[in-house]
């Protein structure tokens, strides 16, 4: 069964500091990996996704993530955090079609607080 | 504008009452999903549908029911059998061929009176 672990429930950074949110996954085949962001009381917005190819993927709002197969990780990074980045971030893993078509498994989320 | 709409934004349920949450998409997506979100628990899959007139149970289907009579609509009914319905409910959709990329609606918050 696939699973996702986000080890950090809550992270606090200062505005302008760098950010790394951790994500570890378990999946028996080639994974599709996603990062979503959620503002309070809102739906989820896709930040970036990895399917294949270059293991460093760029997303919206200046975020990037690196797929490391050997570590089963897909960590999200941003070089300089803005106050508007404060939100909850979810990592998700999906399958490569077939009966698992479209099904994603989400991590428990990491809440990001940004101090001025 | 293409997108996913959910209504209402807030919904109140009385004891023993069934309530229905609406989810509509005009993206021509094939598959639709319902998730329940509780603080600290991420998103848990309730039901999903990959094609009209067909749907599958997710991880926490007990106390919920769905229908998929039209491609663009996937309503969720929270029945009286769901003893702890207070949560934030999210609808999502995806299209085959886009590697399971799911797009989400704005959510409905269900509260029990």
Q: Rounded to an integer, what distance in angstroms lies between the CA atom of residue B9 and that of residue A94?
A: 28
Structure tokens at A85: 């980045």
Quick: pLDDT tens for B1-58. Answer: 669 999 999 999 888 899 999 999 999 998 999 999 998 888 999 999 989 999 999 9
Task: Collect all residues of chain A within an 8 Å Cβ-Cβ radius of residue B88.
Answer: 41
Quick: pLDDT tens for B42-88. Answer: 899 999 998 999 999 999 999 999 999 999 999 999 999 898 999 99
Q: Rounded to an integer, what distance in angstroms lies between the CA atom of residue A32 and that of residue A35?
A: 11
Whole-number pLDDT of residue A28 = 75
Tens of pLDDT along chain A (116 residues)? 789 999 999 999 999 999 999 999 998 777 899 999 999 999 999 999 998 889 999 999 999 999 999 999 999 999 999 999 999 999 999 875 555 566 889 999 999 999 98
Residue A52, min C-alpha distance to chain B (Å): 11
Query: Quick check: A88 and A41 in contact, CB under 8 A?
Result: no
The CA–CA distances, whole Å, from B10 to A21, B6, B7, B21, B113 equal 31, 10, 8, 10, 12
Structure tokens at A108: 């428990």
| Facing residue for B100 by CB, picked from A101, A108, A109 | A101
Structure tokens at B107: 């959510």
Query: Quick check: B100 and A32 in contact, CB under 8 A?
Result: yes
Residue found by looking up tokens 């991590």 in the block: A107
Count interface pairs A-B at CB distance under 8 A.
61
Task: Collect all residues of chain A within an 8 Å Cβ-Cβ radius of residue B102.
Answer: 34, 46, 102, 104
- Residue B10 sits at the vertex; the CA angle it makes with A47 and B41, to the nearest 5 degrees, is 50
Task: Collect all residues of chain A within an 8 Å Cβ-Cβ radius of residue B59.
Answer: none
> B-contacting residues of A 45-104, CB under 8 Å?
45-46, 49, 51, 90, 94-96, 101-104
The residue ranges of DSSP E strands in chain B, in sequence order, are 4-7, 10-13, 19-25, 31-37, 43-51, 54-57, 64-66, 76-78, 87-94, 103-104, 108-112
Task: Collect all residues of chain A within an 8 Å Cβ-Cβ radius of residue B41.
Answer: 108
Whole-number pLDDT of residue A103 = 80
Whole-number pLDDT of residue B99 = 60
């Amino acid at each position: 069964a696939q699973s996702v672990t986000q080890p950090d429930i809550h992270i606090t950074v200062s505005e302008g500091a760098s950010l790394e949110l951790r994500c570890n996954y378990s999946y028996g085949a080639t994974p599709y990996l996603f990062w979503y962001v959620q503002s309070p009381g809102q739906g989820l917005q896709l930040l970036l996704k990895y399917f294949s190819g270059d293991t460093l993927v760029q997303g919206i709002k200046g975020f990037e993530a690196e797929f490391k197969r050997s570590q089963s990780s897909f960590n999200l990074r941003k070089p300089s955090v803005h106050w508007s980045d404060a939100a909850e971030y979810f990592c998700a893993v999906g399958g490569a079609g077939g009966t698992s078509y479209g099904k994603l498994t989400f991590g428990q989320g990491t809440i990001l607080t940004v101090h001025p | 504008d293409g997108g996913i709409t959910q209504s209402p934004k807030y919904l109140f349920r009385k004891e023993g009452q069934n309530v229905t949450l609406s989810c509509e998409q005009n993206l021509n997506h094939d598959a639709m999903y319902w998730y329940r979100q509780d603080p600290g628990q991420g998103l848990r899959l309730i039901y999903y549908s990959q094609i009209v007139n067909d749907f599958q149970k997710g991880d926490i289907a007990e106390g919920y029911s769905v229908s998929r009579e039209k491609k663009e609509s996937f309503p969720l009914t929270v029945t009286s059998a769901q003893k702890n319905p207070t949560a934030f409910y999210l609808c999502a959709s995806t299209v085959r061929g886009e590697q399971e990329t799911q797009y989400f609606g704005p959510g409905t918050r269900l509260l029990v009176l």
